[in-house]
Amino acid sequence: MKRNRKAGLILFLISTILMSSCSSGSRADQYVKGGRSQVGSIPDFLKPVRLKNFNDPKEVVQKLGQTPNPSDVEGYAIHPDGGLIYDILSREAKKTGVLGKYDDAEVSTGTVSVGGTTLQFSLPKSAAAYDLIPIRYTVTSSDSILPVHISATAFEEESRRKGRDLYDLNIPGVVDVDIEYLGYVDGKLQTGLRPVLSPKLDNDIQGKSYPGYTTTDLIRSGTLRSSDITWLKFKYTNTGNTILDADGNGTFSFIPHLYKKEGSKWADSDITVNMHERLFDYLYPGESDEMWITFRKRNFAPGEYKIIFEGRIRNEQKDSDYAAVWKGRTLMTSSFEFTVKADAGV
């Protein structure tokens, strides 16, 4: 019995080797004859390399090769305050000749004074779109206050600025927003309209229409009816002196928090699906826009509610990494209280 098992094992190994060698040989020949690369061939970087001594750097370099030669690296100067002078954009503009276009350009000059610090600057009166332009400036201060943040903002829509000296969110001034409740829309789900999917996909029901609910017109009331879906409409107006926007280094968004009254206290109840309700356009001081709010639960049970709007910005002026990337800083708050009844408006 032992001899038979051994003979069978040897025969199996021989047949396996013959089959694999014949198979791989014919496959390789087929692709070589066809003028195509071999499928399944091992890339050079995956081929095994045996090392006698992993701690011998000469053997490692000889058998595994060296890393590619490094690319050209440009050095950057260090400012006396210890910061890196990262002027990659101006370097590129010099190489392409963009900065040279403004060597003899007519310039505007100005002076800005804040406390004991004075900024004097000059810049071209006109420039081509998307050009990087030279702004020459000097800063003098009676106090040794560091660091100093200097920002130059190009207003793309001068007609909306209306000649006013405004802040942007890189260095915000007064950030304030007036929020006005305009009403709500009531939605009622309709049975038999939505598609229904079965676990085995064998009894699926095709949807008949979209959306699967009916809605009312805008209802101007602070007492809401408890229904399947509720949308609240708000108007917001920029009452500060800072331009609000939703992109770039300084970004602004609303964070609506829903609270429900439980006894004499307000309990955290819900947030919107995206949590951050962003702006879709710049909002200059004095301008208004509208937004619709619906929360994750989509409806309200009867009771007393309050929505607190937080206006948050993110920038790198003083924010930590977490605040700049995600949370932001709250610069304004506004609240709105309302009542929900089962039979409101019936």
At residue 276, φ and ψ (nearest 5 deg) are -100, 120
Same domain, 201 and 307: yes
Is pTM beyond 0.75? Reply is: no
- Smallest CA-to-CA distance from 152 within 139, 130, 127, 133 is with 133
In a domain, 158, yes or no: no
Residue 11: what pLDDT? Answer: 42
- 315 and 264 housed in the same domain: yes
Cα(72)–Cα(88) distance, rounded to whole angstroms?
A: 14
Neighbours of 295 (CB within 10 A): 20
Same domain, 183 and 312: yes
**Residue 139: which residues within 8 A CB-CB, separation 6 or more?**
117, 118, 119, 148, 150
**Tens of each residue's pLDDT in the chain, 346 residues:** 445 555 444 444 444 434 444 444 443 444 444 444 455 566 666 667 777 877 787 877 777 776 666 667 788 889 887 888 888 888 999 999 998 999 999 999 999 888 788 999 999 999 998 899 999 999 988 877 666 777 777 777 888 988 898 988 888 889 999 999 999 999 998 887 878 888 888 888 887 877 888 899 999 999 999 999 999 999 999 999 999 987 777 789 999 999 999 999 999 999 998 888 989 899 999 999 999 999 999 999 999 999 999 998 887 666 666 666 667 788 899 999 999 998 876 5
Same domain, 107 and 184: no
Looking at the fold, whether 140 and 235 belong to one and the same domain comes out as no
pLDDT at 154: 74
If one counts the domains in the chain, the total is 2
Which long-range CB contacts under 8 A does 94-100 form with residues at least 24 apart?
98/131, 98/132, 99/132, 99/133, 99/134
Identify whether the C-beta of residue 253 lies closer than 8 Å to the C-beta of residue 278: yes
d(CA 126, CA 334): 41
Q: What is the pLDDT of residue 21?
A: 40
Shared-domain flag, residues 135 and 229: no
Claim to verify: residue 146 and residue 211 sit in the same structural domain: no
Which of 343, 290, 302, 342 is CA-nearest to residue 183?
290
CATH code (residue 286) = 2.60.40.10
Q: How far is CA 106 from the centre of its chain?
A: 39
Q: Name which of 278, 256, 260 is nearest 269 in CA terms.
A: 260
Could you give the CA distance from residue 314 to residue 178 in angstroms, rounded to a whole number?
Answer: 20
Judge if 305 and 222 occupy the same domain. Answer: yes
Nearest to 242 by CA among 230, 252, 234: 252
CA distance 37 to 46: 17
Cα distance between residue 294 and residue 189, in whole Å: 15
Within a 10 A sphere around the Cβ of 54, how many other Cβ atoms? 8
Please return the burial class of 127, using the count of CB atoms within 10 Å of its CB with bins 0-12, 13-18 and 19+: middle
Helix (H, G, I), strand (E, B) or coil at 321: helix
Residue 45 forms part of a structural domain: no
Task: Say if 87 falls within a structural domain.
Answer: no
Examine the domain organization and report whether 192 and 331 are in the same domain.
Answer: yes
In a domain, 235, yes or no: yes
Same-domain pairing of 219 and 306: yes
Rounded distance between C-alpha atoms, residue 190 and residue 152, angstroms: 55
Closest by CA to 256, choosing from 293, 302, 299, 304, is: 293
SS3 67: coil
What is the token pair recorded at 343?
């039979």
pLDDT of residue 27: 39
Query: CB–CB of 78/85 below 8 Å?
Result: yes
Strands 329-341 and 303-314: antiparallel
Q: Residue 10 falls within a domain, yes or no?
A: no
**126: in domain:** yes
Pair (221, 316) in one structural domain:
yes
Q: Indicate if 329 and 218 belong to the same structural domain.
A: yes
- Cα within 13 Å of Cα(165), Cβ side: 2
Cα gap 346→330, rounded to integer Å: 40
Q: Is residue 39 part of a domain?
A: no
| Cβ-proximal residues to 107 (8 Å cutoff; 6+ apart), any chain | 122, 123, 124, 125
- With beta carbons less than 8 A apart as the criterion, state whether 291 and 256 touch: no
The pairing of beta strand 229-238 with beta strand 177-189: antiparallel
Domain of 113? 101-150
Domain stops at, among 115, 131, 150: 150
- Note whether residue 244 is domain-resident: yes
